[in-house]
Amino acid sequence: MRKPIIAGNWKMNNTIKEAKDLIENLKPLVVDSNVDIVICPSYLSIEAAVELTSGSPIKVGAQNMHYEESGAYTGEVSGEMLKELGIEYIIIGHSERRQYFNETDETVNKKVIKALKLNLNPIVCVGETIEERENNKAKEVVTTQVKNALAGLSQEEISNLIIAYEPIWAIGTGKTASSDDANEVCGWIREVVKELSDQSIAEKIRIQYGGSVKPDNIKELMGQTHIDGALVGGASLKADQFAALVNY
Ligand code: 13P
């Protein structure tokens, strides 16, 4: 049985003060939850988030990292720096990073390898554009993204990954993929993982859906056979809404 994992990707939202307020409001609402709960604030709020969530079921992740340990990469943050702050998860390859910040399958792969070396749990994001879906290319695109992201990983490393299927057309648009469509793609992803490792790892690995997940659609999504959690943007910014997702 795979334990569900609900993660909030705060994106470029919340000052440190706002982050602290949100965490304080969230904590009492999720004490009895049976799922893994992760919040991914901006780098600046990570230290406060780790401190404030200590002793609570909430774990902290980051939204990105560089694959090098240090060096002349102005504006970047390394996995080592994040690890020192006490994060446990790292979102890698979010479509917004692919779209606006030149993230490629190759850099995603380097970051996944680095994160695993640091014992961070990567949440690897994949997903197709609306044009790709309309041209029946979704399967090909997602399959390629997963294969490239996981290239060179050992079976054990693969078993420690979380993969998030986030169709780009569903992100921040209010258009959720139907639960059947989302489940179908998560099933394809599980097949690819099986090809790259084996049946037991494919059955163990957790696959999230992301894209306009809200309190009114979480239950149906989570009821699908291949969907083990959600990666949530907008609805993770309000304590009551995120708590409703966690306590679905
Ligand atoms: P929304 O939940 O705002 O659609 O964002 C999804 C997302 O990109 C999470 O990483």
Residue 1 has a pLDDT of 84
For residue 47, indicate whether it is catalytic: no
Closest atom of ligand 1 to 96 CA is: 8
Residue 30 has a pLDDT of 97
Q: Assess contact for 100 and 139: CB atoms under 8 A.
A: no
Token duo for residue 62: 């980051």
| pTM of the complete model beyond 0.85 | yes
Report the pocket of ligand 1 as residue ranges, CB < 6 Å. 9, 94, 166, 171-172, 210-213, 231-235
Q: Is 5-246 a CATH 3.20.20.70 domain?
A: yes
Per-residue pLDDT tens digits for 194-205: 999 999 999 999
Q: Assess contact for 108 and 157: CB atoms under 8 A.
A: no
Domain coordinates of the chain in residue numbers? 5-246
For residue 103, indicate whether it is catalytic: no
Residue 215 Cα to ligand 1 midpoint, Å, equals 13
Question: Pick the catalytic residue: 66, 94, 103, 128?
Answer: 94
Per-residue pLDDT tens digits for 110-158: 999 999 999 999 999 999 999 999 999 999 999 999 999 999 999 999 9
DSSP category for residue 201: H
Instruction: Give one word for 120, left, alpha or beta, with left for phi > 0 and alpha for psi -120 to 50.
Output: beta
DSSP three-state, residue 163: strand
Residue 177 has a pLDDT of 87
Residue ranges, the chain, pLDDT below 70: none
Residue 172 Cα to ligand 1 midpoint, Å, equals 6
Residue 174 has a pLDDT of 85
